[in-house]
A and B are shown apart, each in its own frame.
Chain A
Amino acid sequence: QSVLTQPPSASGTPGQRVTISCSGSSSNIGSNTVNWYQQLPGTAPKLLIYSNNQRPSGVPDRFSGSKSGTSASLAISGLQSEDEADYYCAAWDDSLNGHYVFGTGTKVTVL
């Protein structure tokens, strides 16, 4: 089961700013960095943000990440139609000999 909690859905009109929250605990987000993945319909997940707030080459600067304590958030500014996708936060968890945990996922809809 997912141990990182995200809102099931978020939406906005083109050009708006959308924020997705990710809530964890001291053994995962509280101790390790957070990554975000974007999954477009019918495709494999793609790394969007790593190490809390770093963007891989090719990811637009409209996407930004932050972390505070045991929570993290992803912001999409200047929302575009191609941003309609599922978004997952993730982090390593130090319990149970170390394992990777994903968030519950957030479906972003562009109205």
Chain B
Amino acid sequence: QVQLVQSGAEVKKPGSSVKVSCKASGGTFSSYAISWVRQAPGQGLEWMGGIIPIFGTANYAQKFQGRVTITADESTSTAYMELSSLRSEDTAVYYCARNGFKYSSSSGWFDPWGQGTLVTVSS
């Protein structure tokens, strides 16, 4: 069974960037998309974008275009999400999740999920 383990909590200053990692183990990595979803305190879930590691091309939610970069390293079965120009509203728990369909980043479901990474943006 695939398991996704994310990097630890981060505290960042406004205007800086953060890079969160998501390491997969126990299953196929390259052919299934990894998506990133965030959840602000007390709020709902918001999809940010995803990548199919074997293709290396990411697609992003329009809201985050130009500010988020999602990459993947097949050699270490790790996906990354980098968010720049951080502001206080970016304080949230960031999750990675694997898409349910092979070779597709725009269909299917998310399973499993990583444990989440809290990113706090504060001066």
Indicate, yes or no, whether A interacts with B. Answer: yes
Chain A interfacial positions (CB closer than 8 Å to B): 2, 32, 35, 37, 44-47, 50-51, 56, 88, 90, 92, 96-105
Cβ of B47 within 8 Å of any chain A Cβ, yes or no, is yes
| CB contact under 8 A between A44 and B109, given known A99-B47, A100-B35, A105-B45 | no
For residue B100, which residue of chain A has the nearest CB? A50
A103 cross-chain contacts in B, Cβ below 8 A: 44
Please report whether the interface of chain B is mostly helix, strand, loop or mixed according to DSSP.
Answer: strand
A45 pairs with B113, CB closer than 8 A: yes
What is the number of residues of chain B that contact chain A, defined by CB distance less than 8 Å?
Answer: 24
Distance of A89 Cα from B110 Cα, bound (Å):
12
B61 pairs with A44, CB closer than 8 A: no
Chain B interfacial positions (CB closer than 8 Å to A): 35, 37, 44-47, 50, 59, 61-62, 95, 97, 100, 106-116
Distance of A97 Cα from B29 Cα, bound (Å):
24
B112 cross-chain contacts in A, Cβ below 8 A: 47
Interchain nearest-CB distance for A23 vs B (Å): 15
Please pick, from A32, A56, A102, the residue contacting B47 in the complex, using a CB distance under 8 A.
A102
A35 pairs with B110, CB closer than 8 A: yes
Distance of A66 Cα from B112 Cα, bound (Å):
22
Most buried by A among B46, B61, B95, B109: B109
A102 pairs with B46, CB closer than 8 A: yes
A44 pairs with B115, CB closer than 8 A: yes
| CB contact under 8 A between A92 and B106, given known A47-B111, A97-B59 | yes
